[in-house]
């Protein structure tokens, strides 16, 4: 670790992993509720479990992004973080606010939570992924502003690398587009239209800048490839991301009361959205093949390559599967969407956070890389989680295709609940795959505490490369 203030990232990473475990446990509860309808009913109805599952995901990814920024921004800027104290303070504010919100979901009925948090003053609750009470949303904005100030001051005062500037652009975009979560018009069409300005412009827009810059940073570190080369790739990838992804928002405007020209704009541009993900895969493998050193952290390299591949499959391929308007007419809001959502979030955002944790955590704990046995266990967890996520996606896709076949693309459509029972086997298999995912996650957590094996060593092979 070059600068002692980078160590604040450790807090953020630990919290991220802890919340990740919670997210998966609630995912398993929901998966079980799909086949065992009254499981935990009425104590934890499905909608509550889902809020906890998705909100924990968002919060732990934000912890991961912030941790990544606190770690890599000082190193790139070649100076200490502007205020490590502010970083630690905001950590506790965010963690307490997040924990209280989750407890609120679990302990009181949602309508009561709305009442307790005075949702009437500025109603923003009850929209998918943005279920947080208004007061929590305001808290998120304050934390984001403090965070951006801290990161921004560090970047402005130091060396301005492409990685830092792209990361900062992504983080500023994240904060700016979140502001649309406060706009909740009575008009359902406008509500939905601008809701996507948060959700789509996050995950298919500015978050990809964050993803790209973190990946570029880790690849610079573990491959030793010339920064100029990596930065050029980064520019091209994020250029394609925004060129395709901004108008690609149109693939959400097919059936919500918006003009029908969006079926063309959305189909054409979102059909190109896999391109930047494909480039990211080519980029990652290229850089690793051209590496100028053998970094002892094999696990981090595995995560980096895995991110590139899984983001392409989940966001790129599974997104393309149902993005063309004539296809989406039948698949919209089915399990096909759920399949895509799972692999895209895992492949792009979960894996990039685990990549930077894998790279940075050993360094913050005083080693260049973890001991061999620890890395072996971490790589086992990589394969268990990744392969089980592939199966979760395949089973949900199977469920979705059958759902479309029986409920939508037919002359004799059957009702939603009848179809759900007929595709039950896929939900059981998905739950089974989810349990394997949990085993992988437990191994992942344990891997931080495993020691021994040959000590990891750096072997500089620049001369043999």
Partner 1 sequence: MSEVFTKSMARNIYYGGSMFFFLLFLALTFDTMGEVPKRDNHEALTAQVALGKKVWEENDCIGCHTLLGEGAYFAPELGNVYKRFGNSTDAIVAFIKGRPANGIPGRRSMPQFNLSDEELEAVAAFLKYASEINSANWPPNIQG
Among the listed ranges 5-13, 15-23, 190-198, 367-375, the one in contact with partner 1 (CB under 8 A) is 190-198
Asked if residue 405 binds partner 1 (CB under 8 A), the reply is no
Q: Which of 192, 292, 293, 373 binds partner 1 (CB under 8 A)?
A: 192
Whether the CB-CB separation of 74 and 81 falls below 8 Å is answered with yes
Query: 38, 366, 449, 463: which one contacts partner 1 (CB under 8 A)?
Result: 38
DSSP string, 40-101: TTTTS-HHHHHHHHHHHHHHHHHHHHHHHHHHHHHHHHTS--S-HHHHHHHHHHHHHHHHHH
Task: Give the number of other CB atoms < 10 A from CB of residue 196.
Answer: 19
Give CA–CA dist 5/314, Å, rounded.
35
Which stretches of 404-450 are DSSP H helices? 416-422, 424-447
Residue 172 as a binder of partner 1 (CB under 8 A): the answer is: no
Q: Is residue 327 part of the contact set for partner 1 (CB under 8 A)?
A: no
218 three-state secondary structure: helix
| Binds partner 1 by CB under 8 A, chosen from 23, 388, 397, 407 | 407
- The reply to whether 367 sits near partner 1 by the rule CB under 8 A is no
Among 10, 82, 291, 332, binds partner 1 (CB under 8 A): 332
> 427 in helix, strand or coil?
helix
Segment 7 to 36, residues that bind partner 1, using CB under 8 A: 30, 33-34, 36
Residue 88 in contact with partner 1, rule: CB under 8 A? no
- 45 touches partner 1 by CB under 8 A: yes
| 121 contributes a contact to partner 1 by CB under 8 A | no
State the sign of the Cα–Cα–Cα–Cα dihedral 255, 258, 264, 269. negative
Name which of 138, 126, 134 is nearest 50 in CA terms.
126
In the chain, % helix, strand, coil (3-state, to 5) comes to: 75, 0, 20
Shortest CB 124 distance to partner 1, Å:
9
Candidates 123-131, 437-445, 447-455, 456-464: pick the segment binding partner 1 (CB under 8 A).
123-131
Query: Which residues from 377-396 bind partner 1, rule CB under 8 A?
Result: none
CB-nearer residue toward partner 1: 100 or 338: 338
Write down the least CB distance from residue 157 to partner 1, Å. 22
Q: What are phi and psi of 391, to 5 degrees?
A: -70, -40
Count of positions on this chain that bind partner 1 (CB under 8 A): 78
| 3-state SS, residue 294 | strand
For partner 1, give the closer residue by CB, 90 or 308: 308
325 in Cβ contact with 254 (< 8 Å): yes
Of 46, 182, 278, 380, the one binding partner 1 by CB under 8 A: 46
Q: Distance between CA atoms of 399 and 197, rounded to whole angstroms? A: 29
Rule CB under 8 A: is residue 164 a binding residue for partner 1?
no
| 185 three-state secondary structure | coil
From the list 242, 300, 360, 433, which residue makes contact with partner 1 (rule: CB under 8 A)?
A: 242
Q: Choose which of 51, 299, 305, 379 interacts with partner 1 (CB under 8 A).
A: 51
Q: What is the nearest approach in angstroms of partner 1 to the Cβ of residue 314?
A: 17
């Amino acid at each position: 670790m070059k600068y002692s203030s980078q160590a604040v990232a450790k807090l953020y990473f630990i919290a991220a992993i802890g919340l990740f475990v919670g997210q998966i446990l609630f995912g398993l509860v929901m998966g079980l509720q799909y086949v065992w309808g009254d499981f935990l009913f009425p104590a934890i109805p499905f909608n509550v479990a889902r809020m906890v599952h998705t909100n924990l995901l968002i919060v732990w990814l934000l912890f991961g992004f912030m941790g990544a920024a606190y770690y890599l921004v000082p190193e790139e800027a070649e100076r200490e973080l502007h205020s490590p104290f502010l970083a630690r303070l905001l950590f506790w504010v965010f963690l307490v606010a997040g924990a209280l919100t989750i407890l609120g979901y679990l302990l009181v009925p949602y309508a009561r939570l709305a009442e307790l948090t005075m949702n009437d003053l500025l109603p923003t609750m009850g929209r998918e992924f943005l279920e947080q009470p208004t007061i929590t949303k305001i808290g998120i904005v304050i934390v984001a502003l403090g965070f951006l100030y801290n990161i921004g001051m560090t970047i402005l005062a130091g060396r301005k690398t492409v990685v830092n500037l792209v990361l900062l652009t992504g983080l500023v975009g994240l904060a700016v587009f979140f502001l649309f979560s406060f706009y909740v018009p009575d008009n359902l069409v406008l509500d939905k239209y601008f809701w996507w300005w948060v959700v789509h412009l996050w995950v298919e827009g500015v978050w990809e800048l964050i993803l790209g810059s973190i990946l570029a940073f880790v690849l610079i570190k573990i491959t030793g490839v010339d920064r100029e080369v990596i930065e050029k790739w980064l520019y091209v990838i994020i250029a394609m991301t925004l060129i395709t992804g901004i108008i690609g928002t149109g693939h959400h405007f097919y059936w919500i009361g918006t003009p029908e020209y969006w079926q063309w704009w959305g189909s054409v541009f979102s059909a190109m959205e896999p391109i930047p993900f494909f480039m990211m895969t080519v980029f990652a493998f290229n850089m690793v093949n051209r590496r100028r050193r053998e970094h002892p952290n094999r696990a981090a390299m595995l995560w980096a390559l895995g991110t590139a591949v899984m983001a392409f499959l989940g966001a790129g391929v599974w997104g393309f599967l149902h993005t063309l308007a004539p296809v989406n007419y039948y698949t919209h809001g089915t399990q096909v969407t759920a399949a895509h959502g799972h692999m895209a979030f895992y492949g792009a955002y979960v894996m990039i956070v685990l990549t930077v944790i894998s790279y940075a955590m050993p360094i913050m704990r005083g080693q260049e890389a973890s001991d061999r046995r620890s890395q072996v266990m971490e790589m086992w967890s990589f394969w268990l989680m990744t392969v089980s996520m592939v199966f979760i996606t395949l089973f949900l896709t199977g469920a979705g295709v059958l759902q479309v076949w029986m409920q939508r693309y037919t002359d004799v459509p059957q009702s939603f609940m009848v179809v759900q029972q007929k595709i039950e086997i896929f939900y059981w298999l998905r739950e089974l795959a989810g349990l394997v995912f949990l085993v992988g996650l437990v191994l992942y957590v344990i891997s931080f505490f495993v020691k021994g094996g040959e000590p990891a060593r750096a072997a500089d092979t620049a001369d043999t490369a």
